[in-house]
Amino acid sequence: MADDLSSFTKDVLLVKGLKNSTFVWRLVVLAFAMVCGVYICSICLKQISTGSKIGFIDINVIQNPCPEPNIEPWEIPYVHYPNPNTYIREECRCHPVRYFTILSMQRSGSGWFETFLNSHPNISSNGEIFSVKVRRSNISTITETLDTIYNLDWLSSASKNECTTAVGLKWMLNQGLMQHHEQIAEYFRIHGVSVIFLFRRNLLRRMISVLANEYDRNVKILNGTHKSHVHSPKEAEILAKYKPTLNSTLLIANLKQVNDTTTKALEYFKSTRHIMLYYEDVVKNRTKLMDVLEFLKVPQMNLKSRQVKIHRGSLSSQVENWDDVSKALTGTKYENFLHEDYRR
């Protein structure tokens, strides 16, 4: 009987020990499960957060891409989709834009030519930007200015409400262009900028225009106001009354210097996509403007300008010392400048 009691007691203690051990293990498993649950939840939350971001990016990619323009493969570097910092292009965001620069010299018809371009609803040519010295003080300021213009952040009277198809500026050769020609040519290449060369064949006519314009800048014939370009025949007639006196001794040297400068410019930027125009050709044949529109890949339409030509008629009537000028150029390679080369 005593043995039975002892055995029973041992069994009871064994059961109690097993129960206690099971309880402890359950606590351990529960704690482990909780730790695993917290870890798994944290991983899930991270994945959800990342997934949300990826999903947002995916949505943007779906909404933002623009259809491939129907262009030739060689044109691809010249087609851009600017993203201005100053406004949102909205419905124009998928409208491709081409960059251009008019390279010219003062009194070569560039202002007149630019008014034609700006009469087109899809072209914005922003004028003589680098006439301000600080903008051309070094290559950094030059490229920063160009970046602003080509990103459609340059606001001027040429800015259009319509979808801009071509944006550019007018750049004179003596405005930092020749000094930094290597870096600028490289900028044009990298950014796909097309060049429009616009020069005058008759450099003698250009010289007369430069001297007359400089005189008016100092004297201000039109009621104390200097005007490089005019919009009325009356104003043109008043300005044309002034006849400059040319230094016949330095005449050939000055003409040669201008000719050499234009030759260098053509050499410096010959590797860029470009078109060559002469003022006289545009005056005689306005269909030349259609060639420019084709070059810029904008819709063809009639272009207009309100500017009125100042110096008309024969050169002999526009120079005070014509006999000296004629004698200096006769028998030289510049003799053809003495004769008429266009009528309008």
Burial class (CB in 10 A: 0-12, 13-18, 19+), 37: exposed
What is the b/e burial string over 43-75, where b = at least 16 CB atoms within 10 angstroms of the residue's CB?
Answer: eeeeeeeeeeeeeeeeeeeeeeeeeeeeeeeee
Which pTM value belongs to this model?
Answer: 0.80
Looking up residue 211, the CATH number of its domain turns out to be: 3.40.50
Task: Give me the pLDDT at residue 59, please.
Answer: 34
* Structural domains of the chain, count: 1
Nearest to 262 by CA among 132, 172, 194: 172
Q: 262 lies in a domain?
A: yes
In a domain, 182, yes or no: yes
- The reported pLDDT for the residue numbered 35 is 64
Answer positive or negative: Cα dihedral of 298, 300, 301, 305. positive
* 58 domain-assigned: no
Residue 44 placed within a domain: no
Query: Quick one: pLDDT at residue 243?
Result: 96
Residue 313 inside a domain? The answer is: yes
Structural domain boundaries, residue 260: 76-338
- Distances, alpha carbon 212 to alpha carbons 48, 159, 303, 325, in Å: 74, 31, 28, 16
**Phi, psi torsion values for 278, nearest 5 degrees:** -115, 140
Cα separation, 117 vs 120, in Å, equals 6
Strands (DSSP E) found in the chain: 98-104, 123-125, 166-172, 193-199, 274-278
Per the domain annotation, does 141 fall within a domain? Answer: yes
Q: Identify whether 4 is part of a domain.
A: no
DSSP 226: -
What pLDDT does 234 receive? Answer: 95
Identify the DSSP state of 11: H
Dihedral, 314, 317, 319, 324 alpha carbons, nearest 10? 90
Structure tokens at 216: 């008016």
pLDDT score at 313:
85
Q: From the first residue on, what is the mean pLDDT of each consecutive set of 10 residues in the chain (344 residues)?
A: 49 49 64 66 56 40 66 94 92 93 97 97 96 97 98 90 91 98 98 98 96 96 93 94 96 97 98 97 94 97 95 92 97 92 56
Residue 24 in any domain: the answer is no
Count Cβ atoms within 10 A of the Cβ of residue 87 and give its class: 0-12 exposed, 13-18 middle, 19 or more buried: exposed
3-state secondary structure of 300: coil
Which tokens go with 131? 């006439």
